Amino acid sequence: MSRSTHPIPNSIQSAAEIVRKSKRGVVLSGAGISTPSGIPDFRSPQTGLWSTIEPIEVASALAFRYDPVRFFEWLRPLALKVLTAEPNAAHLAVHQLQQMGYVHTIVTQNIDGLHQKAGSKNVLEVHGSFETMTCVACFTKVSSHPYIPPFLEQGILPRCPNCRGILKPDVILFGEQMPHQPWLQAQKACRHCDLMIVAGSSLEVLPVARLPMEAVERGAHLIIINHTPTYLDVRADVVFSEDVAVILPQIVAEILHQP
């Protein structure tokens, strides 16, 4: 394993060589890929979403049922950041790797849609997204777009057009199961990939954290780019303890530079 606490040319070259040999690469992205776009992560001291509030109190399925108003009050400033954010250099680099044919699937723990904004396809959102909402009373599913401006601008709670029940964004809260089809597709992609790139994930949230291990155990190469250590660093081919928005573009540039 090659470890880089500072991005040295040899580590970039090693990563680029591994990527160039792949045909069925998977990128697993976490909150760290979107922090350069202004979206806070969850666990960083002082700045993480859970540094000042207990998540189970506002962002669990049970808490939403009992007090949806509090949930939406907590969500509003976060939603404003998420929905106005733009892709950064890391998202664009992932898109380039996909265009070049090295990456086939993107599995993301994020709900910000920035991979899609960057142009990437086959993005599996295993923790849901803001694109749709579901009524907690009659289970009607609707597009979020008509409800977002009144919510962000005036704090108006989204209500079901059929029964006037509260509409819950289709993001996965604590105590909820992940969306079935994206999760099955993510598992399949990771079991058949020849390369796994972990981009900005601490690999602490199960069951997603097991996906890279499944890939490695089936012979896939592993590149990890994350500020903090992960449990799989010892199994990785290359580890960068650096900003993913710096490292991924350097890997892409090295691939393009290689003859």
DSSP for 23-69 reads: SSEEEEE-GGGTGGGT---SSSTTTSTTSSS-HHHHSBHHHHHH-HH
Q: Per-residue confidence at 52, pLDDT binned at 50, 70, 90?
A: low
Provide the mean pLDDT of the chain. Answer: 89
pLDDT tens-digit profile of 186-227? 999 999 999 999 999 999 988 999 999 999 999 999 999 999
pLDDT tens-digit profile of 78-112? 888 888 899 999 999 999 999 999 999 999 999 99
Name the more confident of 59 and 188.
Answer: 188
* CATH number of residue 188's parent domain: 3.40.50.1220
206 shares its domain with 240: yes
Domain end marker among 171, 196, 229: 171
Name the more confident of 52 and 162.
Answer: 162
191 shares its domain with 247: yes
Catalytic residue among 91, 95, 115, 127: 127
Q: CA-to-CA distance for 97 and 67, rounded, in angstroms?
A: 43
116 shares its domain with 45: no
Q: CA-to-CA distance for 108 and 168, rounded, in angstroms?
A: 21
Domain end marker among 171, 203, 223: 171
98 shares its domain with 211: yes
* CATH number of residue 67's parent domain: 3.30.1600.10
Q: Please state the rounded mean pLDDT for residues 21-34.
A: 96
Q: Per-residue confidence at 185, pLDDT binned at 50, 70, 90?
A: very high
User: Does residue 48 surpass a pLDDT of 80?
Assistant: no
pLDDT tens-digit profile of 120-132? 999 999 999 989 9
**Whole-structure pTM value:** 0.89
Distance in Å from the first CA to the final CA of the chain: 25
Q: Please state the rounded mean pLDDT for residues 238-256.
A: 96
Q: Per-residue confidence at 6, pLDDT binned at 50, 70, 90?
A: very low
The residues facing 133 across adjacent strands are 142, 169
1 shares its domain with 79: no
68 shares its domain with 3: no
**Domain range holding 248?**
1-38+87-127+178-259
24 shares its domain with 77: no
> In terms of Cα–Cα distance, which of 3, 83, 87, 84 is closest to 37?
87
Q: CA-to-CA distance for 141 and 144, rounded, in angstroms?
A: 9
147 shares its domain with 48: yes
Number of domains in the chain: 2
71 shares its domain with 52: yes
Q: CA-to-CA distance for 48 and 76, rounded, in angstroms?
A: 16
Q: Please state the rounded mean pLDDT for residues 139-146.
A: 95
Residues in the chain: 259
201 shares its domain with 222: yes
Annotated catalytic residue 192: no
138 shares its domain with 55: yes
107 shares its domain with 141: no
Lowest mean pLDDT among 33-37, 170-174, 221-225: 170-174
Domain end marker among 119, 153, 171: 171
